Structure 1
Amino acid sequence: MSVFWLAPQFLIIGIGDGFALVGLQEYFYDQVPDSMRSLGIALYLSVIGAANFISSLLITLVDHITEKGGKSWFGKDLNTSRLDYFYWLLAGITAGNICIFAFVASRYSYKNVRKTTVAVADCYEGDHIEAMA
């Protein structure tokens, strides 16, 4: 088995992170009260850092738990490792996350954002242009 089998997963995660970063930044910029805007951007960056720590913690926990049960899912040899089990675990966690997100998002009320309208003056005079032609 080649390590390049992991490339599509990393590509999908990278694209997802790009979209998530933009969405988080827009959310914290628009929905946080104006007096806390800089704190909102700091929280946005903290969420990414906390997610990286939790990811490392999850890998460490899975490695220790599966090592006690016999053979670790993460090994030095990719051919004997059980990364498929780990990806199934991640899929289950993601499915639970989607359900929790749908529940919370359906009950969320957005902050009213006032849109400013720009008035454009109509200064077209048809007779003047026809007279010049």
Structure 2
Amino acid sequence: MQWRIGVGMAFSFICCRFAYKNADLVNTQPSMHMDIFSLTPQFLLLGIMKGLSERGLQSFYRSLLSESLRDYRTPFGECVMGIGKFLSTLCILIFKSWFGHDTDSSRMDNYYTILTILSFACFLIYWVALAHCYGDAPQEVDCEQPIEHKTV
């Protein structure tokens, strides 16, 4: 489950790089317009990333949640994805000067550079947290044990 999420995050980084390359190509060669063939690798990587991440999140929540909360693993995964979508919208609002009325007046390469950096930073943070939970050193928190909930 951890590998599935990590590989999905790696595909996210690679997808952002493809998006940057497409946007940079349009900005450096204004006469060249995007077509379906130039966007196909980006959308294939996006689909792989989404499938791996969503399944990994569901497995992650299934292993952590008690039996009574297991039905809520899909909403918890949607919550995490929703936070990512909210942060993406926040980035768009912060860098709204980069977005024009068409692709020729937009600076999408700058936006995709920011997304590439953010996705790589999140990828590194994930692997550091994973190494902390599953590393060789003894830890105070056992990341593999499900959380036990006591009912009153």
TM over 0.5: yes
AA partner of residue 56 (structure 1) = T
Aligned equivalent of 2:25: none
Structure-to-structure mapping, 1:22-101, within 5 angstroms: 22-63=55-96, 67=97, 73-101=98-126
Determine if the alignment matches structure 1 residue 3 to structure 2 residue 28.
Answer: no
Question: Identity of counterpart residues, as a percentage?
Answer: 29
What TM-score does the superposition give when structure 1 sets the normalisation length? 0.66
CA distance in 2: counterparts of 1:60 and 1:44, whole angstroms? 25
What TM-score does the superposition give when structure 2 sets the normalisation length? 0.59
SS of residue in 2 equivalent to 1:107: helix
**Mapped contact 1:28–1:37 kept (Cα < 8 A):** yes
Shift of 1:28: 0.8
State the number of aligned residues. Answer: 104
Unpaired segments ≥5 residues, structure 2: 1-31, 134-142, 147-152
Unpaired segments ≥5 residues, structure 1: 68-72, 113-133
| Cα deviation code 1:74-117 (max 9, x no counterpart) | 111212321111111111111211121111111223127xxxxx
Greater gyration radius: 1
